[in-house]
Homo-oligomer: A and B are copies of this chain.
Amino acid sequence: MGNKLIECVPNYSEGRDLEKIEKIVECFRAKKGVRLLDYQTDPNHNRLVVTVIGEPEPLRDAVVASFGRAVELIDMTKHEGQHPRMGAVDVVPFIPCRNATLEEADALAKEVAKTVGEQYGIPCFLYESSATAPHRANLASIRKGQFEGMAEKMQDTEKWAPDFGPAAPHPTAGVSAVGARMPLVAYNVNLGTDNLEIANQIARRVRNINGGYHYIKAIGVMLEDRNLAQVSMNLTDYTKTAVYRAFEAVKMEAKRYGVPVLESEIVGLLPMQALVDCAEYYLQVAGFDPSQIMENRLLEEE
């Protein structure tokens, strides 16, 4: 079996003061059962993005502790930056990683939101898969109005009462969005053409919103330096719309334009299984079990 691992990518509204940044990141360092994978700051955005993986309980405790730090250190009434934001801890997605389900990530998100609401008086909105109403699933909808407009927005209690915590924003820490989602695979396919319109046409045909695959979001993009058009995709659930299906769908649509597929690219992190699924498909592998992969054995609990 192995231990359950959930990923969390909390975003904090501090991307300039290195001392404060370090104090927040410290909540995830050298904690048993929690592994800090990465953190990135952007002074223009004035924002810190942490990537951390852990077992549910230690991860919950570390994330809650980081809320405490952020409330102490960040004053949203003085915050400025290019990235839209509504709270000291702006958004906290929980993502099932290994041996964990979306339901387990959802349960963790709700626990954290409840604790943070009670302990620190920060109103929390459940979003993505954890959302309690369709209009609250999308982060941009929740965040609209940002920190400065949140007090007024929340007066519409029918639409914007928080799921946990007080009915009005925390005076200096604002509000937070917390929720579960599937891991996202950022996947691009480069076409042998400089015609952006062809990439746009293909994007429209493969993406969910226009009748394509359920878990594909796609747009056409011009790679100016290479003079190539690209179909840029986000695969929002690789367990249901696999990477190879996105690739084959783009190839199939490109055929009508006589445009070849030059290559594809994977941006950022992805789970091993997303690639293993592709190898299994193309090699026509039958009866394979993930425990046959040595690394899966190594990652199991002793």
Task: Give residues in A with beta carbon < 8 Å to B.
Answer: 5, 7, 30, 35, 37, 53, 97-98, 190, 243-244, 247, 261-266, 268-272, 275-276, 278-280, 282-288, 292-299, 302
Complex contacts, A266 vs chain B, CB 8 Å = 285, 288, 292
A273: nearest chain-B partner, CB-CB: B295
A269: nearest chain-B partner, CB-CB: B294
Q: A282's contact among B97, B282, B296, by CB below 8 Å, is which?
A: B282
Closest beta carbon of chain B to A186's beta carbon, Å? 10
In Å, the complex CA distance between A30 and B302 comes to 8
Q: Is the CB of B268 within 8 A of A292?
A: yes
Q: A264's contact among B243, B265, B284, B293, by CB below 8 Å, is which?
A: B284
Q: Is the CB of B279 within 8 A of A292?
A: no
Given contacts A98-B295, A244-B282, A264-B283, 10 further A-B contacts (CB under 8 A): A37-B294, A264-B285, A266-B288, A266-B292, A269-B297, A270-B293, A272-B276, A272-B293, A276-B276, A298-B299
Interface residue SS majority, chain A: mixed
In Å, the complex CA distance between A280 and B276 comes to 10
In Å, the complex CA distance between A190 and B84 comes to 55
Q: A299's contact among B276, B288, B295, by CB below 8 Å, is which?
A: B295
Closest beta carbon of chain B to A51's beta carbon, Å? 9
In Å, the complex CA distance between A288 and B278 comes to 15
Q: Is the CB of A283 within 8 A of B278?
A: yes
A272: nearest chain-B partner, CB-CB: B295
In Å, the complex CA distance between A272 and B299 comes to 12
Q: Is the CB of A243 within 8 A of B298?
A: no
Q: A35-B302, A282-B278 are in contact. Are A292 and B265 (CB under 8 A)?
A: no
Q: Is the CB of B282 within 8 A of A294?
A: no
A95: nearest chain-B partner, CB-CB: B294
Q: A278-B279, A279-B278 are in contact. Are A292 and B270 (CB under 8 A)?
A: yes
A282: nearest chain-B partner, CB-CB: B282
Q: A264-B284, A278-B279 are in contact. Are A269 and B293 (CB under 8 A)?
A: yes
Closest beta carbon of chain B to A25's beta carbon, Å? 14
Closest beta carbon of chain B to A253's beta carbon, Å? 16
In Å, the complex CA distance between A280 and B243 comes to 11
In Å, the complex CA distance between A35 and B294 comes to 12
In Å, the complex CA distance between A55 and B288 comes to 28
Complex contacts, A272 vs chain B, CB 8 Å = 272, 276, 293-296
